[in-house]
Structure 1
Amino acid sequence: MSLNALKHEAFKNEAVRAEYDNLADEFELIDQLTSMRSKAGLTQEQLAKRIGTAKSNISRLERGRGNPSWETLKKYAHACGFRVKLEAVEDTGKIA
């Protein structure tokens, strides 16, 4: 079964879909991190050396297993030739 087919099947369950939607921002951040590194042509190890950390920290960050500081995100982006920018978007569909 392909990943798309698996997602389609899983999303038939409203609880799964709701949880996925709740994590959408985290998934987007992870995708942006790995995309930056890929566009820079860097391995996790090369990136880690550039910012002075361990490869395991880069891996953890790219798996969404951490709570990176703003400084860490800036270093990561800069090492890949990017910069980070915070954007506030009005949340029109969610109830707090």
Structure 2
Amino acid sequence: MDLNDLKEKAFQNNKVKREYDKLASEFSLIDQLIYMRTQAGLTQAQLAERMHTQKSNISRLERGNANPSWATLQKYANACGFELSLKAEKKQ
């Protein structure tokens, strides 16, 4: 069973789907971080060097195991050659 099949099966349970949806913004942030780094052609180690931090800190950010400040997110984006912005949307 591949990951997509597993997710599809898990999402048949409404409780699992609701919990997953609660984390959608966190997953989106992680995807954006990895996208910026890969578009910049950087490894985690190279990015860490640019940010004057440890590779383990980059890894934690990209796994969602950190609670980064806005300044850290901006530093990450800038080190990858991106600008960061915040978009607010009203809940439906």
- TM category (shorter chain) comes to over 0.9
- Per-residue CA deviation, residues 46-88 of structure 1 (Å, 9 max, x unaligned), is 0000001000000000000011001100000001010110011
**Structure 2, gaps ≥5 residues long:** none
> Moved runs in structure 1, 4+ residues, more than 4 A?
none
Residue matched to 1:56: 56
1:21-32 pair list within 5 angstroms: 21-32=21-32
Residue matched to 2:6: 6
SS in 2 for 1:41: coil
Residue matched to 1:75: 75
| TM-score (normalised: structure 1) | 0.94
| TM-score (normalised: structure 2) | 0.98
SS in 2 for 1:42: coil
Give the Å deviation of 1:11: 0.2
SS in 2 for 1:68: coil
Give the Å deviation of 1:13: 0.8
- Per-residue CA deviation, residues 18-55 of structure 1 (Å, 9 max, x unaligned), is 00000000000000000000000000000000001000
The count of corresponding residues between Structure 1 and Structure 2 is: 92
* Identity over aligned pairs, percent: 63
